Amino acid sequence: MLTKLALTGFKNRWRDYLVLFSGLIMSSAIFYMFEALATNQDFLKQNTSISMVGIIFQFGSVLLTIITLVYISYANSFLLSMRKRDYGLFMLVGARKSKIGQLIWLETLLVGIVATVVGVAIGTGLTAGISQLLINSMNLSLHHLAAWYFPAALTTLLLYVGLFLLAGLFNLITLTKTPALKLLHSNEQPNRPQLKPGRQILEVIIGLVAIGIGYWSMANLGTLQLAGIGIALVTIVLGTYFLFNAIFVWLMVLLKRLPFAQRGLNGFTLSQLSFRIRNYTKMLSIVAMLFALALGAITVGMGFHTQTPLMAASSNAYDMGIVNATSAEKRQITALNPTTNVTYHFKAGKKAVYYQASEFNQHPFTTIEMRAKAQLDYKRVTQNAKQLSKSSLIYQLMQLQGSQHQQTAPVFLSSQDYQKLPQTEQHLTVFATNDVTQHLAGLKQLATTQRHRDKGLDKGMLGGRYGNYVMINGMYSGLEFMGLFLGIAFLAMLASCLMFKILSGADADKHRYVMLDKIGTTKRQLRGAINKEIAVLFILPGIVGVIHVLFGLQMFKMLMITSPYTGIWLPFVIFAGLYLLYYLLTINIYQRIVLQ
């Protein structure tokens, strides 16, 4: 009988359960997506040369576990709030507490297991889809990436099922020890914030000091090493919570005392925010951290993608060098519209490659060097043969000489001495385009043709900017992918957390909007109040998250040849657009629920 009553209650509140299930499914799906990278040691080792990346992912797993713990705790509170009235009625009609406790346990565990299994399945699909999208759109080179990874699935299942077992035990104890009448009226008891200046000032001070320590540790990561990441993880999370807990409560109470609160429905909006203020502070702290993680990961991922061609360009002034280019290869080079296209004749000996100095004086060989970080200095070499052979940049010419002569130093002779050499004359064609990344397909075709003729060439020995681009892209593709992939995952979890928090209270808010409608409030005013209320919940964690990102990018100065702040506006604009879409989607769903 109790089971039948429970199913009836479920049918009557299917919309609320749909919000709960969707939130839990997205949470477990994103946790699996993160663990699919974090637990795949082959993927981490093969796609990045940074030895710390595995430990960094372990810190990330700890942080995400903490966020998941709070998220499930809040989801369980939502489940509990939906069922309190029903279980109170069961007690009033004579149901035994032991039976109700058993029903609570099974219901909580069933919700958790079903949501987790579905979440892992969706997470697998999202991992595969997002991976292919990033690889194809950004020309990434990755190894050992697996959309389905059993250790990640097992970790997700163990964590979520374990947490729901604890949640079921908590629900059992809470509901069986609470009087029936109190359960019936539990949702009508407001959580009014009380302004305690001494306590809140202390929380503000602790929060600012903790965040300051976290920012300092990120800026000095080169000195602190792994300890810096651990310090930042703990202090910034705690500092963010203390600031939200103190400032947000204070802000709501103070705003209600201003004349601003008496205009239109502003007072109602502030009261709505104050009604469940403590729960909001916890969730907003999580959202702020997820906002910082998502925006930071996307910014770093795009930063690595931007600096790959810059690093390739810093190695050589020419895209490629082709020894004894055929007529077909020359036509392919011409089709690329090269800005420079020069052919030098040479004769190869056992100890040196001999060139005519006159050809280099007639067509100067351009060299490149790094004067400072991310500043390239192009030089046109026009010295005589003796000076040129002593140049410290002569290795740039050696890179272009093919596999047989890449380790052989060039020697520059006069025309008379060159003609006396008995070796067969060959020719080296060097060329440069305006941008390697715009001509990858054509350059790849030329490289493939060369490898067919010169078996000694491989990706590591193919000289010039294209060869270096292929090598560097292979090194940094893993970091680019991790940054963008995790950024998308954290953005999805951010939206899941915030939308779940807002929409989970929509049904309880419905009667308030019905009352406002009955006293003559227009639909436009009601929509305006909703828009303002939800806008506050989106803007506050966004501001804190942006500040975290601006300081957190200090960690990546040692990994990038360019400043991590270069071109930062682009990921910020993209992220702001996606964040705005989530905001519009949330207010649309919320209005459909509360406005009849």
pLDDT digit string (tens) for 448-497? 888 777 666 655 567 788 888 887 777 777 777 777 887 887 887 777 77
Pick from 277, 78, 77, 87: nearest CA to 182 = 87
Looking at the predicted structure, is the pLDDT value of residue 18 above 70? yes
Check if the beta carbon of residue 290 is closer than 8 Å to that of residue 68: no
Phi, psi (degrees; rounded to nearest 5) at 345: -95, 145
Which helix (H) or strand (E) covers residue 275, if one does?
helix 266-275
Mean pLDDT of 18-39: 81
483's tokens: 């940054």
pLDDT-based confidence at residue 288 (cuts at 50, 70, 90): confident
Report the Cα 273 to chain-centroid distance in Å: 30
Amino acid in the structure at residue 38 = A
Which helix (H) or strand (E) covers residue 53, if one does?
helix 53-92
pLDDT at 251: 75
pLDDT at 179: 59
pLDDT at 303: 80
pLDDT at 374: 43
pTM: 0.71
Looking at the predicted structure, is the pLDDT value of residue 52 above 60? no
Looking at the predicted structure, is the pLDDT value of residue 377 above 50? no
pLDDT at 67: 76
Looking at the predicted structure, is the pLDDT value of residue 64 above 80? no
Give the tens place of pLDDT for each residue, 179-198: 555 555 555 555 555 556 77
DSSP string of 488-550, one letter each residue: HHHHHHHHHHHHHHHHHTHHHHHHHHHHHHHTT--HHHHHHHHHHHHHHHHHHHHHHHHHHHH
Percent of the chain with pLDDT over 90: 1
Check if the beta carbon of residue 501 is closer than 8 Å to that of residue 301: no
Cα distances from 514 to residues 19, 97, 521, 527, 529, in angstroms, run 21, 36, 10, 13, 14
Looking at the predicted structure, is the pLDDT value of residue 382 above 60? no
Check if the beta carbon of residue 2 is closer than 8 Å to that of residue 100: yes
Looking at the predicted structure, is the pLDDT value of residue 572 above 80? yes
pLDDT at 261: 65
pLDDT at 360: 84
234's tokens: 């703990």
In the chain, the N- to C-terminal Cα span, in Å, equals 34
Percent of the chain with pLDDT over 70: 78
- Out of 135-144, 201-210, 525-534, least confident range: 135-144
pLDDT at 8: 61
% helix / strand / coil in the chain, to the nearest 5? Answer: 70, 10, 20
372's tokens: 């400072």
Give the tens place of pLDDT for each residue, 424-448: 888 899 999 888 888 888 888 888 8
Please provide the size of the chain in residues: 596
pLDDT at 297: 81
Domain range summary for the chain, segments of one domain joined by +: 1-189, 192-208+244-310+465-596, 320-462
pLDDT-based confidence at residue 95 (cuts at 50, 70, 90): low
Give the pairing type, strands 425-432 and 320-323: antiparallel
pLDDT at 62: 76
Average pLDDT, the chain: 77
pLDDT at 549: 85
Mean pLDDT of 540-551: 86
Give the tens place of pLDDT for each residue, 387-423: 444 455 677 888 888 777 778 888 888 888 888 888 8
pLDDT at 88: 64
Mean pLDDT of 137-145: 71
| Spatial CB neighbours of 378, under 8 Å, sequence gap ≥ 6 | 317, 366, 367, 368
pLDDT at 83: 64
Give the tens place of pLDDT for each residue, 508-530: 777 777 887 777 778 888 888 88
pLDDT-based confidence at residue 82 (cuts at 50, 70, 90): low
pLDDT at 376: 42
Mean pLDDT of 290-313: 81
Residue with the larger pLDDT of the pair 2 and 282: 282
pLDDT-based confidence at residue 385 (cuts at 50, 70, 90): very low
Angle between helices 97-138 and 53-92 (to 10 degrees): 150
Residue with the larger pLDDT of the pair 358 and 221: 358
Neighbours of 243 (CB within 10 A): 21
